[in-house]
A and B are shown apart, each in its own frame.
Chain A
Amino acid sequence: MISFIARRFSAMIFVLVSISILVFLIFFATPGVDPAARIAGRNADQQTLMQVRHSFELDKPLPIRYLSMMRHLFVARDLTSYVNRGAKVLPQLSQAIPATFSLVIGAAIIWLLFGLIFGVLAASSKKKWLDPTISFLGIVGVSLPVFWLGEVVNLLTQSKLHGSVFRWVPPLGYVGLSVDPWQWFLHLLLPWMTLAVLYAGIYVRVLRSEILVVMSEDYIKTERAKGASEKRILYKHATRMSLITIVSLFGLDFGALVGGYALLTEVVFGIQGVGKLTFDSLQNFDLPVIMATVMYASFFVVFMNAVVDVLYAVLDPRVRRA
């Protein structure tokens, strides 16, 4: 078991190193990407250009440059941006993480709540119209692109109806939880709901079909034969069993969102999270920031996968030998 874990985690390190090398090489293979002239400034003198190239180590061979960047990122922890000169990359990332977590956790609570309530309702309701209606609304939720929905929400709450119904809506942006909890809540309320719509739709549909599958299992029939109430069967057995799927689905979605998938919501609502940081750095060709955010996101994904693999191995001995 220990050797399996060791193997799994060394594979994880290998994947991360490969990703960082790939990002680095792709960046420098892009035509016209040499950052020296952009850092030096418009119409810079050739000597100035050389000084800048030297001070950013851009005159060194690629492997040295790569190692130096990794050293600045992980050992010295003082890697600085190419675009916002002097801005250290790691503090930028560590400041962006709470915003992303706030957004994703709040949205997750909403979509889990809605997903569970309406998923169970759709699967169990005696009323003929309820199930198709909920399923239909679920489909609508899944189909609405988050960037479009976010812009529409902004159009209504910030512009068209801002003078009347939505006077309480604060300007776009993010306020830290420690700065002002009430403003934190107000600023995030609409982004939470916007992000949650898509996932609530998915979870309602997944939970509903899972419950229906479980309801036809043999052990449910046995339970019925023993005279258990329908309520007990639904909640104690069917829903509980179906939650296993939901939990593993949630693990993956949550990991991806924290890793930067909440990007579109962050951009539309002006929340300075990890997704927005990645987006901006890609637009600016800011390699140090791209490198840091990509490493952060891939760490989350790779690490979560490794944890899941180890858990599988705990549950299923066959995996350990694979």
Chain B
Amino acid sequence: MRRRSIVLNSLIGVAALAASALIGGASSQAASDGGMAPFDPAHAGGTIKLVANAAAGSLDPKINYTGQYWELYQASYDGLLGFRYGDGKASFQVVPDLATALPVMSNGGKTLTFTLRSGIKFSNGQPVTVADVKASFERIFKVSSPTAGSFYNGIVGATACLAKPATCKLDQGVVVDAKTNKIVINLTAPDETIISKLAVPHAVINPASSPAKDAGTTPIPTTGAYMFKSYDPNKSLIMVRNPYFKEWSHDAQPSGYPDQIEYQFGVTPTAQVTAVENNQANWVYDPIPSDRLNEIGTKYATQVHVNPLTAMWYLPMNVNIAPFNNVKARQAVNYAIDRAAMVKIFGGSQLAAPVCSFLPPNFPGHVDYCGYTKGATPDKPAKAWSAPDLELAKKLVKDSGTAGQAVGIVVSDDDVNKQMGVYLQSVLNSIGYKATVKPISGNIQFTYIQNTKNKVQISVTQWYQDYPAASDFLNVLLGCASFTPNSDSSINMAGYCNKSFDAQMSKAMSLGLTDPTAANKLWGQLDQQVMKDAPVAVAFTPKQLDFISSGTKNYHFSLQYKMFVDQLQTK
């Protein structure tokens, strides 16, 4: 997953934030195993006001693919499975939601059997039936959901549905029985991540009567604690309590506290901060502007929460054109970049941490290692990154025979990314290249750098997890299947396709079905192995800074969907 515009940038606010970061999550109460404390009616009521610069597009849960709305969907929509309401690693746990239990796996992992809970109603009063479940899976294809071909292509019948969405039928793939409430999902091949894929919003259950096209701004009935009352992307999004909701699983869909959740759009980031300081709003969506970090870190320190994100900022290098078709040139970049300097540009050590590993800290399969730091090599990595090694980088460039070549660095045109670009330019120049920075609009940079037609050599971009599985990083970003020349949708920006690495990833994925621990160990090895080839240079892992108003209590953070909006209390 990818986040939208980044305007965070500060050197001033850092010291102040250092103190406030410590209190992250301090005001929250949690059950001992990381779950939510039982619902307390005494704190229910009131309105939570959220402010953002812009809306995040279609409200259709099968279409929307932004962290901004996924954060709201967890309180409104439900799939057969869902991510747990809880703090820290507990939030990565998949729990039964509309299904009574986790699926029974049979047929070598190709058949998943669920039982639908009975007695649950949609927010329009209709009961949730197995027919709705089947229709919801077909709707993924009918509306051309962004992940239809990447997450759900393994369902039997999906191939035909992808080719002809209008007539999509999953009679073999999703078999339901209205009498017993049984649902059987058949896959063409076992998939170790299917549990997570069934828990994300694109797999939620909507009424069978939902339109067979993107519903856009028209809300679709929900099953969760809240429903959407109105949506105008230029003004506001309003959520109210779902009158038909009764808590059936405290872990998957607990009762929420506010009576209403209002998202106001069109507020500049600096005005958002002011609104929260004045108690006119409860929470700021956009990154805090650099000139406000100092004041919120000092005067409002108790209202700041900093949490790690399972994400990375990285530099894909095009392995198919000069100079980065030479492995030494790519390794040179890895040695040369000062990750601490890039962290500083991003906002300082409280908002990010330097890393060299592909899998971010806290993520399945992550191993603490760095092959590209002073005194280390990819074969003999250090525990962590400490300093760049410019001498070695210069030598590698010289040995590669690419010295003196022109390199274009394509970055988004916001302040932070432009500064990153200028910094990289100075680094590349110092190791022997003739670098230029090419800033382009943040809205098209992400698709621009994917298309081989644009001949991008190196760029700066980010990747945020979709679900907690190593394959969501390694296989999605570096697999052969993710590389499509001449297409704007070719997420493997480095154009890296290594058949033997692909085969090993397949092995790790099938191992995940039977032995997740061993599989994650293998992923950790694959991470180190692929970084020897250095198709990318990983720079740092960012953190999430949430700023809430003084009267807002019960802040909880999910590694999967970020803040639990519906658990905030104003009373």
Residues of A at the B interface (CB closer than 8 Å) are 30-34, 36-38, 40-49, 51-52, 55, 80-81, 83-87, 92, 95-96, 151, 154, 158-159, 162, 171-173, 267-268, 270, 272, 276-277, 280, 283-285
Contacts and interface: CB of A to CB of B under 8 A. Distances in A.
B274 A31 contact: no
8 contacts: A38-B447, A45-B162, A46-B487, A48-B149, A85-B63, A159-B278, A172-B271, A280-B54
B244 to A, nearest CB: 25
Nearest to A158: B274
Report the interface size class on chain B.
35 or more
Contacts of A33: 444
Interface string B156-198: 0000001101000000000000000000000000000000000
Nearest to A284: B443
A42 B488 contact: no
B383 interface: no
Given A33-B444, A277-B234, A48 B146 contact: yes
Contacts of A44: 146-147, 149-150, 489
B260 interface: no
A49 B488 contact: yes
A51 B489 contact: no
Contacts of A81: 233
Given A46-B489, A158-B271, A171 B145 contact: no
B377 interface: no
A92 B231 CA distance: 12
Given A42-B146, A47-B149, 16 more contacts: A31-B440, A36-B488, A42-B446, A43-B147, A43-B476, A44-B149, A45-B489, A49-B488, A51-B165, A80-B216, A84-B216, A154-B271, A159-B277, A162-B274, A172-B271, A280-B54
Contacts of A84: 55, 57-58, 216-217, 233
Given A38-B444, A45-B148, A270-B266, A87 B233 contact: yes
A171 B268 contact: no
Q: Give me the 7 closest cross-chain CB pairs, A-B, nearest first.
A: A86-B216, A45-B149, A41-B146, A37-B488, A32-B448, A84-B233, A85-B58
Contacts of B482: 43
A42 B450 CA distance: 11
B234 to A, nearest CB: 5
B204 to A, nearest CB: 16
A84 B66 CA distance: 12
B214 A86 contact: yes
A272 B59 CA distance: 20
A48 B145 contact: yes
B129 interface: no
A92 B234 contact: yes
Interface in B437-480: 440-441, 443-448, 450-451, 454, 476
Interface in B200-244: 213-218, 232-235
Contacts of A32: 440, 444-445, 447-448, 451, 454, 488
Interface of B: 1-2, 54-55, 57-60, 63, 65, 144-150, 153, 162-163, 165, 213-218, 232-235, 264, 266-268, 270-271, 274-275, 277-278, 280-281, 440-441, 443-448, 450-451, 454, 476, 482, 484, 487-489, 491
A86 B218 contact: yes
Nearest to A172: B271
A179 B235 CA distance: 15
B444 A285 contact: yes
B57 A83 contact: yes
B268 A267 contact: yes
Contacts, number: 157
Contacts of A280: 54, 234, 266
B414 to A, nearest CB: 11
A173 to B, nearest CB: 7
A272 B57 contact: no
A86 B218 CA distance: 8
Contact of A285 (B65, B149, B215, B443): B443
Contact of B278 (A38, A171, A272, A277): A171
Given A42-B491, A92-B234, A277-B234, A31 B454 contact: yes
B155 to A, nearest CB: 13
B144 A51 contact: yes
A85 B264 CA distance: 18
B447 A37 contact: yes
A283 B443 contact: yes
Contacts of A80: 216
A272 B58 contact: no
A151 B65 CA distance: 33
A240 B142 CA distance: 68
Contact of A86 (B145, B215, B488): B215
A272 to B, nearest CB: 5
A217 B541 CA distance: 75
Nearest to A84: B233
Nearest to B278: A162
A83 B441 CA distance: 15
B489 A37 contact: yes
B450 A41 contact: no
Contacts of A42: 1-2, 65, 146, 446, 491
B144 A43 contact: no
A30 B268 CA distance: 27
Nearest to B215: A86
A115 to B, nearest CB: 30
Contact of B234 (A36, A43, A272): A272
Contacts of A283: 441, 443
A171 B278 CA distance: 9
B54 A172 contact: no
B182 to A, nearest CB: 30
B281 to A, nearest CB: 7
